[in-house]
């Protein structure tokens, strides 16, 4: 079977025909050092070229030099379409280069190859995609840019009922991105990315979403970052705003570690037995996750009247909160726990109690949502986001980072293909 018969099956272009295929060792611009398969494309006899702006047939003006368009590699060969571009004289747009169906604008990457690379870039690292298919990292980047732009223009933004808001670190030095996810049961995806994590950043999300779609949101899950709380209160005061258990547990663990580190330092300074040595994860892990040796050490620690032990017991007792079903019972337990924490005279735990009291109603919304709305989905997506960043071996620009996140987490639509590669 001839190559052009296969291409006509996969890439049949009206008004154009495939010509001869030539294996070349060298050509202008070949920086990869591989043999290439160059396939000629010619305009069909008596066919008219189309304006690249309005796509209307126009009379010819002149021809340009042959241009190479990169296509999907075949049997280890780099594949190019070679076409001598024509210019047309459009009555509305003047003299312009013609429109060709296999590429967009001045892009030297065929649309089919762009989608091919973008699909592979979801599975493996971008630079690995470039190495495997004998192209450059920038070619892979342009393919992903094309796929993301196409998908963002065509995604369905209707029926968004629940969203989760969080931030992820984009680089060292407290540089963050604000990310908003749709966390409905039927659709979980990255909706929007904002640079920084300020009030104006989150206001930008609601401006982008629009007033009508903002009013249709029924629930929002977020952490306790004050700018987020303020904007949600002002722009979406009608929603059920949930502060999830994940963030409370994380703050409790941070408080316990702070108490442990301070007490261990004081014991060492006083020359006392280092009973808290290597106890960090014993106090932070759940009992069910402790190893046999860690369980033994925990049992020994509980014999001491240490501030770290009292903080640990407070944390363990707080876990009972999530077992309640009614809002009233949960509220009563929270009041009792906060009173006990304030009487403990352990400042980090008192700080947690004050925080719980100040955000009581938002925490109780977790029970009003019957535990069905959780930022665990958000945290899971944030973990995937970090993996995407690692797979892509870092980014020098914020645009590249945003493209990678939308590409990996946006659940963006893709066109119907003639053939799945």
According to DSSP H, which parts of 223-375 are helical?
226-235, 245-269, 280-284, 292-301, 307-318, 327-343, 347-358, 360-368
Distance CA 13, CA 214 (A): 43
Q: Which residue has the tokens 């994590």?
A: 197
Give the per-residue pLDDT at 29.
47
CATH code of the domain occupying 162-243+376-409 = 3.30.420.10
Exposed, middle or buried by CB within 10 Å (0-12, 13-18, 19+), for 193? buried
The confidence band for 173, taking pLDDT boundaries of 50, 70 and 90, is low
Q: What is the pLDDT of residue 332?
A: 95
> Any idea which residue has 């571009």 for tokens?
85
Nearest CA among 87, 11, 3 for reference residue 49: 87
> Are the beta carbons of 37 and 21 closer than 8 angstroms?
yes
**Considering the chain, what is the average pLDDT of its residues?**
87
Q: What is the pLDDT of residue 366?
A: 86
Instruction: Place 312 in a pLDDT band, splitting at 50, 70 and 90.
Output: very high
pTM of the model: 0.82
Q: Which residue, among 171, 163, 159, 118, has the nearest Cα to 141 in the 3D structure?
A: 118
Q: Write out the two tokens for 94.
A: 């003047």
Q: What angle do CA 329, 335, 339 make, to 5 degrees?
A: 145
Is residue 235 within 8 A of residue 204, CB to CB? The reply is no
Burial class (CB in 10 A: 0-12, 13-18, 19+), 338: buried
Q: What is the pLDDT of residues 324-334, one digit of tens each?
A: 889 999 999 99
Q: Among 71-80, 113-122, 207-216, name the one with the lowest average pLDDT.
A: 71-80
pLDDT in tens, 46-100: 888 999 899 899 998 898 999 999 999 888 888 999 999 999 999 999 999 999 9
Residue 307 has pLDDT above 90, yes or no: yes
Cα dist from 401 to 123, 145, 382, 397, whole Å:
16, 11, 13, 7
**C-alpha span between 254 and 272 (Å, rounded):** 25
| Residue 418: predicted pLDDT | 54
Q: How far apart are CA 393 and CA 54, in angstroms?
A: 40
Query: How far is residue 308's CA from residue 331's CA, in Å, rounded to a whole number?
Result: 26
> Which helix (H) or strand (E) element contains residue 152?
helix 137-154
Longest dimension (CA), the chain: 96
* pLDDT score, position 395: 63
Q: How confident is the model at residue 32 (pLDDT cuts 50, 70, 90)?
A: very low
Provide mean pLDDT across the span 399-409: 90
Extract the runs of DSSP E, i.e. beta strands, from 109-186.
162-171, 175-184
Report how far Cα 256 is from the mean position of its chain's Cα atoms: 31
From the list 400, 357, 381, the residue with the least C-alpha distance to 164 is: 381
Cross-strand partners of 78 = 36
Q: Which residues are CB-neighbours of 159 under 8 A, at least 6 positions away?
A: 184, 216
388 close to 126: Cβ distance less than 8 angstroms: no
**Token digits for 232?**
């949600």
Which is more confident, 264 or 76? 264
pLDDT (tens digit, 9 = 90+) per residue, 8-23? 888 888 889 999 888 8
Q: Residue 369 pLDDT > 90, yes or no?
A: no
Distance CA 122, CA 174 (A): 28
- How far apart are alpha carbons 15 and 62 in whole angstroms? 18
* Mean pLDDT (whole number) for 351-368: 91
pLDDT confidence of 31, banded at 50, 70, 90?
very low
Please, which pLDDT band fits residue 420 given cuts at 50, 70 and 90? Answer: low
Two tokens, residue 222: 């977020």
Query: How confident is the model at residue 168, as a pLDDT?
Result: 85
What percent of the chain stands above pLDDT 70? 93
In this predicted structure, which of 5-9, 221-225, 244-248 has the lowest mean pLDDT?
244-248
Please give the C-alpha separations between residue 354 and each of 58, 156, 313, 332, in angstroms, as whole numbers.
Answer: 73, 42, 18, 16
């Amino acid at each position: 079977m001839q190559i052009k018969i296969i291409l006509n099956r996969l890439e049949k272009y009206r008004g154009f025909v495939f010509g001869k295929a030539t294996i070349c060792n060298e050509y202008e611009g070949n920086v990869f050092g591989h043999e290439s398969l160059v396939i000629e494309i010619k305009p069909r006899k008596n066919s008219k070229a189309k304006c690249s702006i309005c796509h209307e047939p126009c009379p010819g003006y002149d021809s340009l030099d042959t241009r190479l368009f990169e296509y999907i590699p075949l049997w280890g060969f780099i594949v190019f379409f070679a076409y001598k571009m024509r210019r047309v004289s459009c009555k509305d747009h003047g003299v312009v280069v013609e429109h060709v169906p296999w590429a967009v604008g001045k892009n030297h990457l065929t649309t089919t190859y762009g989608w091919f690379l973008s699909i592979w870039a979801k599975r493996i690292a971008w630079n690995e995609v470039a190495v495997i298919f004998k192209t450059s990292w920038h070619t892979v980047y342009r393919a992903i840019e094309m796929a993301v732009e196409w998908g963002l223009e065509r995604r369905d933004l209707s029926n968004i009922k629940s969203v989760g808001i969080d931030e992820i670190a984009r680089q060292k030095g407290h540089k963050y991105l604000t990310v908003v996810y749709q966390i409905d049961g039927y659709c979980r995806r990255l909706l929007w990315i904002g640079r920084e994590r300020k009030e104006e950043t989150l206001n930008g999300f609601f401006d982008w979403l629009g007033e009508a779609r903002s009013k249709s949101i029924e629930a929002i899950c977020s952490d306790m970052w004050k700018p987020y709380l303020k904007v949600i209160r002002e722009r979406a005061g009608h929603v059920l705003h949930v502060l999830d258990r994940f963030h409370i547990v994380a703050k409790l663990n941070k408080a316990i570690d702070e108490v442990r580190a301070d007490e261990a330092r004081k014991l060492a300074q006083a020359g006392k037995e280092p009973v808290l040595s290597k106890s960090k994860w014993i106090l932070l892990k759940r009992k069910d996750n402790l190893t046999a040796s860690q369980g033994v050490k925990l049992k020994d620690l509980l014999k001491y009247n240490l501030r770290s032990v009292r903080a640990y017991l407070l944390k363990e007792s707080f876990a009972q909160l999530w077992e309640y079903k009614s809002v009233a019972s949960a509220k009563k337990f929270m009041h009792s726990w906060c009173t006990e924490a304030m009487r403990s005279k352990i400042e980090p735990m008192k700080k947690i109690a004050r925080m719980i009291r100040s955000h009581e109603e938002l925490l109780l919304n977790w029970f009003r949502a019957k535990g069905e709305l959780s930022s665990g989905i958000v945290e899971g997506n944030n973990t995937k986001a970090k993996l995407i960043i690692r797979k892509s071996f870092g980014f020098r620009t914020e645009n590249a980072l945003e493209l990678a996140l939308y590409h990996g987490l946006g659940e963006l639509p893709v066109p119907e293909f003639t053939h799945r590669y």
